[in-house]
Structure 1
Amino acid sequence: MADDRRLLLVEDDVLIGMMLVDMLDALDFPEPAQATTNEEALAILDREPIAGALVDINLGEEKGWPIADALAARGIPFAFTSGGGDVIPPAHADRRLVTKPFRISDIEATLADLLS
C-alpha cells in the first residue's frame, strides 16, 4: 500500500539529499522520491502520487521553477529550499522557504504546515 505522505525531494547536492532523507526518516516519513534535475522531478510527478515536495531553487545550472509550476498546477503543496539570496517569482511568492543549513525542527514545521 502506498503511503499517502510520500514526498518528492528535489536537491542536486547528494550529501544534502542524504541528510534530508535521514531527517524524513527520523520524522517517520516514508522513503521520498528523489530528483536532482527538473527533468527527473517532472518525470516522477508524471508517474507517482506525491503528497508534497521540497524543491531546491538552484539545481546546478537550472532553477527549480518548472517543478514549482508543475506542483502548483497539480495542487500539490511544496516549499522551496535554498542556500539563500534567491528571489522567488511572484507566482510562488507565498510559498515557504527553508534555508540551508537545515535544522530538523524547520523541516518538521514546514512539512506539518504543508500537509495539514
Structure 2
Amino acid sequence: MILQGKRILVVEDEPIIAFALEDMLIEDGADVIAVGSLQDGLANARDERFDFAILDINLHGEKSYPIAHELGRKGVKFVFASGYGDAEHPSELAHVTTLTKPYVLAEIRDMAVAG
C-alpha cells in the first residue's frame, strides 16, 4: 500500500475511467477525490489539500491547465493524463509528465512518491 495516507485529486471526464482509477488508488491506500469537470477540479485545487493529482488534459473540450497552475502555485505534485499519448503543453508546463491511458498503478506510485 505505497499510496497509504496520500490524498489524491483525480480530474477525469470519462466516468468509467474515473471510477476504475479511483478504485485502483483506493485499493492502494489513497484517499481520493475524483471530479469530472474543469470547474470542479479548479474548486478542489483551490479549496482542498492534496499530496498529488492526476489531470486528464482534455475535459469536455477544455484544457486542465488552470488546475495545473493552481496546484503548482500550492506546491502540489501532479501529472497530466491522455489517451492520445504525450501532448505538447504550454511552455510553463512542458516539464510535466504525461501518463498514457490506460493507467498503470506502478507508474502512478512512482510519480506520487517521487521526491
User: TM class, shorter-chain normalised?
Assistant: 0.7 to 0.9
Q: CA deviation at 1:100?
A: 0.7
Match of 2:16 in 1: 15
Paired amino acid for 2:27: A
Match of 2:46 in 1: 46
Paired amino acid for 1:93: A
Q: Which moved more, 1:15-24 or 1:44-53?
A: 44-53
1:25-104 aligned at under 5 Å gives the runs 25-30=26-31, 32-85=32-85, 86-104=87-105
TM-score (norm 1): 0.86
Percent identity of paired positions between Structure 1 and Structure 2? 32
Paired amino acid for 1:69: H
Give structure 2 stretches of 5+ with no counterpart.
none
Distance of 1:111 and 1:73 partners within structure 2: 18
Alignment deviations for residues 28-50 of structure 1 (CA, whole Å, 9 cap, x no partner): 112x1122111101111232211
Task: State the SS of the aligned residue for 1:54.
Answer: strand
Alpha carbon RMSD of aligned pairs, Å? 1.6
The 4+ residue runs of structure 1 with deviation greater than 6 A are none
Q: CA deviation at 1:5?
A: 1.7
Give structure 1 stretches of 5+ with no counterpart.
none
Contact 2:57 2:65 (8 Å CA) reproduced: yes
Contact 1:81 1:99 (8 Å CA) reproduced: yes
Distance of 2:5 and 2:49 partners within structure 1: 8
